[in-house]
Structure 1
Amino acid sequence: MAFKALQIGSGVLSAACLFSSAALAQLGASPLVIEAEANQGQAQAIINVINSGDTPLRTRIYTEPFTYERDKGFQTVSSSSNNLSPYLQFSPTELTVPPGATRRVRLRAILAPSLPDGEYRTAVFAEALKESTDASGRRVGVITRVATTVYVRKGDVDPKLTVDSATFNSEQKTLQLLVHNTGDASVRLGVNWKLKQGETVVRTGESIPTAIVAQGDRNLLLNNPQSDPSPLPPGNYQLTGELTWGENNSNKLPFTVNLTIPTR
């Protein structure tokens, strides 16, 4: 069974003493999200590692377990009961990508029959090490990496979503919707929403797709305060809409929650 590749999400990170926007722009990967249902315990896929710069990139490939935290989003973790890494083979593990070129990394997941049904996930990183100099001329290593998140599902697993509450994030000046996923599969979902005060509609919007892992929750940021015509005044509101997910957003869950914007 081949993986289903989804061109959604992103995972570019830099861990270094010196931040290099040029290095970040040079390294890429596609797709950024891969999903699969294991067939007889196996699945396979390809990740394309992309060098859009004008110098060769020496790159290594490795995995780390990850999660999506309620407010921080994507985070790598030291261990996870759903870690796919021990069951994922990939080749090559190191490669040099010429300027303007793309190189393939082949993935193969092999899940033992004894593994319990559920979802197994990991982040596959392509990491390029480049040397730069700081303002004083010292050589500094800059590590830039890009992640593809990989999900493999064994058995009959599905997300199970509930809307908990809506709040106003006073620090970011945004509306946020707390959604729980009590199911055994992760999900990427969007939100179509409408904010009303009494019978008057004061805002409408559509959020970008956001991941919620199995047995996890997320505060989904709904509006972009920079594009809002004016700040929302304090008061009581009603937030209505629907969660959408799955192929062609075929799964929908309507919701209605109350929201209070406090006096500043």
Structure 2
Amino acid sequence: MKRTIAKILPLLCGFTLGFTPMVAYGQLSVFPLTIQRQAESGQARGVINIFNNSNKSYRARVSLSPFTYNREGLQVLTTSPNDLTPYLTFSPRELVIAAGQKRSIRFNARLLPSLPQGEYRAMFSVEELEDNSSNSDANAENQVSISVNIAATIYVINGNFVPKLGVEKAFYDGNKKQIRLLVNNTGEATTRAKTEWNLSQNGKIVNSGKVEETTMIAKGERYIQISYPPQGKTLTPGNYQLSGKLYWNAKKAENLPFNFNFTVSPQDIIK
């Protein structure tokens, strides 16, 4: 059987850990978008619910990929020392979701006793399978085309680890029209951080806002991106101060204040 594969990967940078609202991609939706589990005796289990919001049935298949986040966002990988995919099983792996119905997919992670302690992760995708057997081209008989409709992320922590966030710097990117706050996570567990910020000039607050959540991968760095100026606002060259707090950890709220000075040049304005 031949297969033509066309993957459309969603941006996962907006996903939360464990308490995500349902999000739809086309006619399918998934809940939760991200699952984080503590391994117990080398095992972790969970359920992902797939909803078909259309008026037709979907034939679908589960697929997996290792991933990480770099400074800019999601990065799908081919290999990773934190790859969870070899240790995951799903039931069912292929399924039909009737129109207007929900199907649940159960997963089980079994970690080898020889695996080092740490965080293991996988991107879970549900791909629609379209039967192209009616294609007039004889060579296309029994072809199946695959397109990714939805994706979620699974984290399994093997050991007793927590995130540890630090804020390194803030600066203005004139090309992207963004204030960028560089955050590192030196801990060995991924978390998500909410950001409250104030922008000041000459001691006066000129704007404030929030960034709802940004994934901070274990042992990694990430830019929190604040689009600026917003519609109806202007930005003039000069010295600015960005202050505020990061908040993370749903079970035991933690926060980290930050305060940085940065300069916006005339060239930044005209880029």
Q: TM-score, normalised by structure 1?
A: 0.84
Give the letter for the 1:149 counterpart. Answer: T
Q: Indicate the SS of the match to 1:86.
A: helix
CA RMSD of aligned residues (A): 2.3
Are 2:257 and 1:244 aligned?
no
1:187 Cα deviation after fit: 1.3
- The whole-number CA distance in structure 2 between the counterparts of 1:63 and 1:214 is 20
In structure 2, the partner of 1:56 is 57
Is this contact kept in 2: 1:61–1:94, CA < 8 A? yes
Q: Using a 3 Å threshold, how does the CA distance of structure 1 residues 74 and 249 change in structure 2: closer, same or farther?
A: farther
Are 2:19 and 1:6 aligned?
yes
In structure 1, the partner of 2:4 is none
In structure 2, the partner of 1:208 is 212
Q: Using a 3 Å threshold, how does the CA distance of structure 1 residues 234 and 150 change in structure 2: closer, same or farther?
A: same
Deviations 1:192-237 (A, max 9, x none): 1111112100111110201021111111112464x44312211111
Is this contact kept in 2: 1:131–1:142, CA < 8 A? no
Match of 1:153 among 132, 154, 157: 157
1:143 Cα deviation after fit: 1.2
Q: Which runs of 5+ in 2 are unaligned?
A: 1-16, 133-143
- The whole-number CA distance in structure 2 between the counterparts of 1:217 and 1:78 is 20
Give the letter for the 2:37 counterpart. Answer: A
Are 2:192 and 1:191 aligned?
no
Deviations 1:64-103 (A, max 9, x none): 00111211x1221001100111111111110011111111
Q: Indicate the SS of the match to 1:83.
A: coil
In structure 1, the partner of 2:118 is 118
Structure 1, 141-150 or 82-91: larger mean CA deviation: 141-150
Are 2:109 and 1:109 aligned?
yes
Are 2:45 and 1:32 aligned?
no
In structure 2, the partner of 1:21 is none
Is this contact kept in 2: 1:207–1:223, CA < 8 A? no
- The whole-number CA distance in structure 2 between the counterparts of 1:9 and 1:98 is 19
Match of 1:231 among 231, 234, 257: 234
Are 2:256 and 1:253 aligned?
yes
- The whole-number CA distance in structure 1 between the counterparts of 2:94 and 2:81 is 27
Q: Which runs of 5+ in 1 are unaligned?
A: 13-23, 133-139
Q: Using a 3 Å threshold, how does the CA distance of structure 1 residues 103 and 78 change in structure 2: closer, same or farther?
A: same
- The whole-number CA distance in structure 2 between the counterparts of 1:249 and 1:196 is 30
- The whole-number CA distance in structure 1 between the counterparts of 2:131 and 2:174 is 40
1:249 Cα deviation after fit: 6.9
Is this contact kept in 2: 1:190–1:244, CA < 8 A? yes
Number of paired residues?
Answer: 241
Give the letter for the 2:256 counterpart. Answer: L
- The whole-number CA distance in structure 2 between the counterparts of 1:189 and 1:222 is 14
Is this contact kept in 1: 2:22–2:30, CA < 8 A? no
1:171 Cα deviation after fit: 2.7
- The whole-number CA distance in structure 2 between the counterparts of 1:169 and 1:129 is 42
In structure 2, the partner of 1:136 is none
Q: Indicate the SS of the match to 2:18.
A: strand
1:188 Cα deviation after fit: 0.7
In structure 2, the partner of 1:181 is 185
Is this contact kept in 2: 1:182–1:214, CA < 8 A? yes
Q: Indicate the SS of the match to 2:86.
A: helix
Q: TM-score, normalised by structure 2?
A: 0.82
Is this contact kept in 1: 2:21–2:31, CA < 8 A? no
In structure 1, the partner of 2:89 is 89
Percent identical residues: 38
Deviations 1:118-148 (A, max 9, x none): 111101111113479xxxxxxx956133111
Deviations 1:12-40 (A, max 9, x none): 8xxxxxxxxxxx41122111010111112
Q: Using a 3 Å threshold, how does the CA distance of structure 1 residues 248 and 40 change in structure 2: closer, same or farther?
A: closer
Give the letter for the 1:120 counterpart. Answer: Y
Is this contact kept in 2: 1:244–1:251, CA < 8 A? yes
